[in-house]
Amino acid sequence: MRLRKARLTVTVDRALIEAGNRAVAAGQADSLSGWVNLALAERVERERGLRAMAEAVAAYEKEFGAISAEEIAAQARRDREAAIRIRGRRGTGRPKRRRAA
């Protein structure tokens, strides 16, 4: 079943309209309206995910107490250590400078 659409008049930054038109020209969207509709749908999903995450954290903290800054930092360290590196090197994340010949 397809949802009924409604007309909407909005004011949008010119750069965003141009980006949408480029997406249409590149075949990444059927129309500017379709591109905007997709962007709004993605925003709805992101907001839904953020709400779900906030609810999960609130439920956890209700049961186990507030998550401390130290716990967050420790988890971030564990996540970095467990990450699989695709490219780059450990350290600052900046590429090594090459000396001129």
Q: Convert the pLDDT of each residue in 55-90 to its tens digit.
A: 999 999 999 999 999 999 999 999 999 999 888 666
> Please, what's the largest Cα pairwise distance for the chain?
65
Residue 28 phi, psi dihedral angles, 5° rounding: -85, -10
pLDDT of 19-47, one tens digit each? Answer: 999 999 999 999 999 999 999 999 999 99
Number of Cα atoms under 13 Å in the Cβ half of residue 30: 4
Could you tell me the two tokens for 53?
Answer: 């995450």
**pLDDT of 3:** 78
Is this prediction's pTM over 0.75? no
Task: Give the closest residue to 22 by CA, choosing from 12, 14, 32, 13.
Answer: 32
Question: Cα–Cα–Cα angle for 21, 25, 28, nearest 5°?
Answer: 90
Q: Where are the domains of the chain?
A: 14-82
Distance, CA of 22 to CA of 32 (rounded, Å): 9
Mean pLDDT of the chain: 90
